[in-house]
Amino acid sequence: MSSSEERCREVRHVAIIMDGNGRWAQQRNRPRAFGHNKGVEAVREAVRAAGNLGVKYLTLFGFSTENWRRPSDEVDALFELMKRFVDADLEKLHKEGVNIRIAGRREGLAEDLLAIIDRAEARTADNDRCFLTIAFNYGGRDEIVRAARRLARDVKSGAINPDAVDENAFAAFLDTAGMPDPDLLIRTSGEHRTSNFLIWQAAYAELVFLDVLWPDFSAEHFKAALDEYASRQRRFGGVNAA
């Protein structure tokens, strides 16, 4: 096995900002919702690719707390796609040993969507072949604020000694508790920013920005991002050994 292949195998957790659905649709003179619908197929491709490439944890940015600013019909379409994806793919993912987690704020979500989320998480809770997290109604700053509130309540109640709070203790209150931090963060569409996604967890993730729009994302793009990761050296603030 080459050193590059070994480095790829080190990647336990990949996070992806799925960007470009709207532009993909506009290039084809179609409504933005058409692009989001096509993007669901790319989600399925990414999940398959992660499993085939040995990536145990995959986290996808589906809907941000800032996306509420978009037109109401587009927001409604995104919510409907979330429900359809989980409903259509749940049993297949369960049979394949996929553990599903939804990260993000639950307040403000419709009751039928919350029921689907609860069902998906409960159905796949014991699976451990791979872990799929969908960040939905999620914002990194919002996640940290929510975690701080929960921690503060436990400190106030006496359940936690404030002197015992360190990074690991705080991370246990995040939506991603129990998961390794992402090794690699991919963003599609050519934009070069992380947009409030996993800002605590991705502090030392390698960033790869791809020019491809999300609906065109393929297993080959996934592998290319892993190859780019393999060409880098992660020092975590230190220096390489001589």
Give the active site residues.
19, 67
CB atoms within 10 A of CB 153: 12
Residues 53/128/183/36 CA torsion (nearest 10 deg): 70
Instruction: Assess contact for 63 and 82: CB atoms under 8 A.
Output: yes
Alpha helices for 18-139 (secondary structure H): 21-27, 32-52, 72-95, 111-123
CA 171 to chain centre: 16
Alpha-carbon span 95 to 211, nearest angstrom: 34
